[in-house]
Amino acid sequence: MVAALRTCHILARPISGATATMEFVKAEISAGLHPTIICPASTQTLPDVFEKAKLIPLDVKSIKRFAARQSWRYVSLVLDTLRGHRFDVVLVYAFRGCGLLPVLGRQVSNTWLMNIRNSNLNSFGWKATIADNLTYLESLPFRSVLVCDTGIGERMLGKHPFHVVPNGADLQKFSSGQRLQMRQELGFADSDQVIIYIGTLVKSRRPVRMLETFEQVAKARPEARLMMVGGSDQLPELIAWGEAHQLADRITFTGRVPYDVIQNYVAAADIGFAYYPSLAVYQANVPLKTAELLAAGLPTVATDTEGNRIYITHEENGLLAKDDPTLLAKAILRLFDEPELTERLRNNAKASVTEFDWQQIVRRSLFPLYEQYATSN
């Protein structure tokens, strides 16, 4: 039944930067579907598998949270693009203004689904309350709402019905990285013990906290190296911090890395660092990167947030610590000083996230919804 469905994905940023969307589409293609994707254009190339999808890039910028005029222009362009098309299921990745699509695009499909992911989260406070209320109102015209976590659904939608389709990891991808070649390219010695962080390095992520943590680790362990993989809006300041603390030769900033090769960087590391600040906006965040570190079999230290606890059980498949450089450093140093613990965490890491494999998630949680709503039209 699924293979016969005509599906369309609509998102307000390039698909190359939307991990969940890419994985949903890949799973659909594997099941024999030929999905349509409508999104802002990007200069980045997609893996060959996406040749089986119909990508319609629009010449617009990604939609910001409260850019009303920009949102209306994007909605108008999407509706113009959809004119004359008919789909069994249209999956819209929530953005401000998206609630107009099922209202004005009734002729396109009887099944419009709204998908709320991490990118829709806001910090707590009055601004977040307004944003969550707007998201709730925009969800009402949709046939159903998908969320990545029960807590997020309850916070944004209250008693309004929703379905949980969790975030996950491509287990096969992250267990097949090229370790030796990547370490050579990055200039790591065989004796180096590389700690890796993957994710953006924007100010709200408090990257200096990670540097302060590493400083304490580096003082105790001369073989320790830190690799920070991700784009940054303050890279000069971070590099200057490393130079000022005599750590420039022990910290590697890779900049943004294409998703199709990220597994090689993870494979080059020895310890995962799943750092999410103890800020309200990150507490409920369901951290894909934590699942990916575990999928690669890395013994991982993570901040003790609600999101990280979805994937990590302390001292079973990783270590949890409060968002404090001293406590985080102590946890990382345990992996240097306690080889039996490190080996146990490494052995348990991949198996612990089996249920979060993207292919399983899509087949278990998403496809049944497609069938349920498409066949009930």
Cα–Cα distances in angstroms (integers) from residue 188 to residues 246, 250, 293, 299, in the given order: 18, 10, 19, 19
Distance of CA 373 to the CA centre of its chain: 27
Domain ranges (residues) in the chain: 2-168+357-374, 171-356
- Please tell me the pTM assigned to this model: 0.83
DSSP-based helix, strand, coil % in the chain, nearest 5: 50, 15, 35
Residue 260 DSSP class = G
Contact (CB, 8 A) for 7 and 33? yes
Note down pLDDT in tens along the chain; length 377 residues. Answer: 576 899 999 999 888 878 788 889 998 998 899 999 999 988 777 778 888 999 999 988 777 655 667 888 999 999 999 999 999 999 999 998 999 999 999 999 999 999 987 655 555 566 667 777 888 899 999 999 999 888 778 878 887 889 999 888 888 889 889 999 999 999 999 999 999 999 988 888 899 999 999 999 999 999 999 999 998 888 999 999 999 999 999 999 999 898 889 999 999 999 999 999 886 656 666 788 999 999 999 999 999 998 899 999 999 999 999 999 999 999 999 999 999 999 999 999 999 999 999 888 999 999 999 988 877 66
pLDDT, residue 65, reads 56
Tell me how far apart the alpha carbons of residues 20 and 1 are, in angstroms, rounded to a whole number.
23
As given in the structure block, the two tokens for residue 24 are: 């949903």
CATH superfamily for 2-168+357-374 is Glycogen Phosphorylase B; (3.40.50.2000)
Contact (CB, 8 A) for 275 and 209? yes
- Domain 171-356: give its CATH code: 3.40.50.2000
Say whether 171-356 and 2-168+357-374 share the same fold: yes
DSSP string, 52-107: GSEEEEESSPPPPTT-HHHHHHHHHHHHHHHTT---SEEEEE--TTTTHHHHH-TT
